[in-house]
Amino acid sequence: MNKLADDCFNQVEDLMTTARALEIMRQSIVTVTRDRLESVPLHQALGRILAEDVTAGLDAPPHDNSAVDGYALRHGDLAANGPTALSIQGRSAAGQPFERPLADGQTVRIFTGAVMPQGADTVVMQEDVSATAHAITLPPGLKLGANRRLRGEDTKRGDVVLQRGQRLRPQDLGLAASVGRGELTLYRRLRVGVFSTGDELAEPGAPGAPLPSGAVYDANRYILAALVRGLVAAVSDLGILPDNAAAVRDGLGAAAADHDLLLTSGGVSVGEGDHVRGAVEALGHLNFWKVAIKPGRPLALGQIGDAAFVGLPGNPVAAMVCYLRFARPLILGLAGASDLDPVLYRVTSGFDYEKKPGRREWLRARLEQGENGAPCAVLYRPQGSGIINSLVRTHGLVEIGEDVTKITAGEAVDFLPYDEVAT
Ligand code: AMP
Ligand code: MG
């Protein structure tokens, strides 16, 4: 007797694995943003992708300097077993060096970041001395080189401090600045067009409320456009395509001409109203469209002219999960980034769970502090792929591999925090 499928994820036979889909995607990536490199001032470079190796043209710090406010001295002057008195010769402040060398028995008042006077090799903290206007006395026991920072201890001249393909974080900009670079050569921004699809979709805030019968508000475009913007790509919000074959084909065809990547959600399955796949096949080609994942499954990768194409599922949770795990690395790769995969963290499962083998699953979970202080993943309920609250009231995704069929509370699971992939 035939049994009706009570789970739309029952049939997994002809579905591609996540690993294979990511591999195909990776093989298809060429940096499309190579065609126009831009020299960009540091303050506009955050989140952008570096198109050059940055080599330090000088040592940083450029001179030995003091790590504290105190007195610079020659370690050889210090008595091993009793106090030492030294005469104060002047001061070395940050940006205002003391220009004379230090002779035996001499010291110089020095401040944090100030250049070490010639001959001085050690600094005593001001709290550790008794001082008059002209001399200090310090106790024994100060180590050679104490409180001194060496020239080049951060970066040596000739070091490659930043590498091509890196996405620039605030600290990367600081490192570039520390070796004197005011501008960096970057890949141009990737141009990404975002469509929603579906006759049922209405624009929030549009005049004509209340919501027409049968309509739902378009949530996906707001999630997806914001995520793409977080990658510092140039996003075009291309609106909602109706469930009409010609309109979908015309919309995608026109947008392919001036974008590097087109991102759609919905309309990629096998329903009568699903025209996205047909349009991509007519305009270009489709690499795959069915992946063994939950949520998701109808997830398409293709090419239209020079533009890459990713068709995300329509349900908002599925759209976001598939974006984070599949579209995001593609966007980064096309834009020139070399590090595409997000880091997953091991956390303790706070739940029992059973799943079918053969597909990869992502569950939305909050992180709470577990018994031993380590983070523990607590599932949000319900987990439906239309439950946007499951994305909002959680910290990230528990990722469960194809082979796993059962998770027991207390075991370790992989966790992808949204913060890891939000930008
Ligand atoms: P589809 O893949 O087009 O069949 O869509 C699957 C489900 O996702 C349907 O319930 C759609 O109404 C819903 N959906 C599709 N696109 C969106 C969107 N942009 N915002 C909110 N829900 C959507
Ligand atoms: Mg639809």
The full DSSP string for 317-336 is HHHHHHIIIIIHHHHHHHHT
CA–centroid distance, residue 238 to ligand 2 (Å): 16
Q: To test the ligand 1 pocket, which listed residue (240, 265, 272, 274) has its Cβ within 8 A of the most ligand atoms?
A: 265
> What residue spans in the chain does CATH classification 3.90.105.10 cover?
37-57+158-187
pLDDT of amino acid 284? 97
Q: CA-to-CA distance for 90 and 98, rounded, in angstroms?
A: 7
Q: Please report the atom of ligand 1 found closest to the CA of residue 243.
A: 3
> What residue spans in the chain does CATH classification 3.40.980.10 cover?
18-36+189-334
**Ligand 1 and 52: CB distance under 6 A:** no
Q: Please report the atom of ligand 1 found closest to the CA of residue 221.
A: 19
Nearest to 325 by CA among 355, 295, 358, 365: 295
> What residue spans in the chain does CATH classification 2.40.340.10 cover?
345-417
Strands 201-202 and 216-217: parallel
pLDDT of amino acid 4? 52
**Ligand 1 and 267: CB distance under 6 A:** yes
pLDDT of amino acid 270? 87
Q: CA-to-CA distance for 421 and 325, rounded, in angstroms?
A: 9
**Ligand 1 and 198: CB distance under 6 A:** yes
Strands 360-369 and 293-294: parallel
CA–centroid distance, residue 139 to ligand 2 (Å): 79
pLDDT of amino acid 9? 44
**Ligand 1 and 311: CB distance under 6 A:** no
Q: How far is CA 309 from CA 27, 62, 65, 379, 392, in A?
A: 15, 49, 54, 32, 27
The dihedral formed by the CA atoms of 327, 331, 334 and 339, expressed in degrees to the nearest 10: -100
**Ligand 1 and 276: CB distance under 6 A:** no
Nearest Cα residue to atom 17 of ligand 1: 314
Q: Inter-axis angle of helices 328-335 and 18-27, to 10 degrees?
A: 20
Strands 160-162 and 54-55: antiparallel
The kind and range of the H/E element at 173 are: helix 170-178
Ligand having the closest approach to the CA of 201: 1
Q: Which residues of the chain have pLDDT under 50?
A: 1-2, 8-13
CA–centroid distance, residue 273 to ligand 1 (Å): 11
Report pTM.
0.92
Find out whether 15 and 359 touch, Cβ atoms under 8 Å.
Answer: yes
CA–centroid distance, residue 192 to ligand 2 (Å): 21
For residue 34, count CB atoms less than 10 angstroms from its CB and return exposed for 0-12, middle for 13-18, buried for 19 or more. Answer: exposed
**Ligand 1 and 122: CB distance under 6 A:** no
Give the CATH class of 37-57+158-187.
alpha beta
**Ligand 1 and 265: CB distance under 6 A:** yes
Q: Which CATH fold topology does 18-36+189-334 show?
A: Molybdenum Cofactor Biosythetic Enzyme; Chain A (3.40.980)
Q: Please report the atom of ligand 1 found closest to the CA of residue 220.
A: 19
Nearest to 109 by CA among 143, 118, 150, 125: 125
* Residues facing residue 157 across a β-bridge: none
CA angle 57, 59, 64 (to 5 degrees): 155
> What residue spans in the chain does CATH classification 2.170.190.11 cover?
65-149
Q: Which CATH fold topology does 345-417 show?
A: Beta-clip (2.40.340)
Residue pLDDT, tens place only, 246-297: 999 999 999 999 999 999 999 998 888 899 999 999 999 999 889 999 998 8
Q: CA-to-CA distance for 316 and 319, rounded, in angstroms?
A: 5
Q: CA-to-CA distance for 287 and 302, rounded, in angstroms?
A: 5
Amino acid type, 385: S
CA–centroid distance, residue 224 to ligand 1 (Å): 13
Nearest Cα residue to atom 10 of ligand 1: 315
Widest Cα–Cα separation across the chain: 103
CA–centroid distance, residue 276 to ligand 2 (Å): 9
Q: Which CATH fold topology does 65-149 show?
A: Molybdopterin biosynthesis moeA protein; domain 3 (2.170.190)
Q: Please report the atom of ligand 1 found closest to the CA of residue 271.
A: 4
Q: To test the ligand 1 pocket, which listed residue (195, 201, 290, 323) has its Cβ within 8 A of the most ligand atoms?
A: 201
Strands 135-138 and 84-92: antiparallel
| Residues 6+ away with beta carbon under 8 Å from 84 | 77, 78, 137, 138, 140
**Ligand 1 and 219: CB distance under 6 A:** yes
Q: CA-to-CA distance for 411 and 352, rounded, in angstroms?
A: 9
pLDDT of amino acid 1? 43
Ligand having the closest approach to the CA of 202: 1
DSSP one-letter code for 38: E
CA–centroid distance, residue 318 to ligand 1 (Å): 10
The dihedral formed by the CA atoms of 7, 12, 13 and 15, expressed in degrees to the nearest 10: 140
Q: CA-to-CA distance for 156 and 122, rounded, in angstroms?
A: 22
Q: To test the ligand 1 pocket, which listed residue (199, 276, 315, 387) has its Cβ within 8 A of the most ligand atoms?
A: 315
Q: Please report the atom of ligand 1 found closest to the CA of residue 313.
A: 2
| Number of C-beta neighbours around residue 230 at 10 A | 14
Ligand having the closest approach to the CA of 298: 1
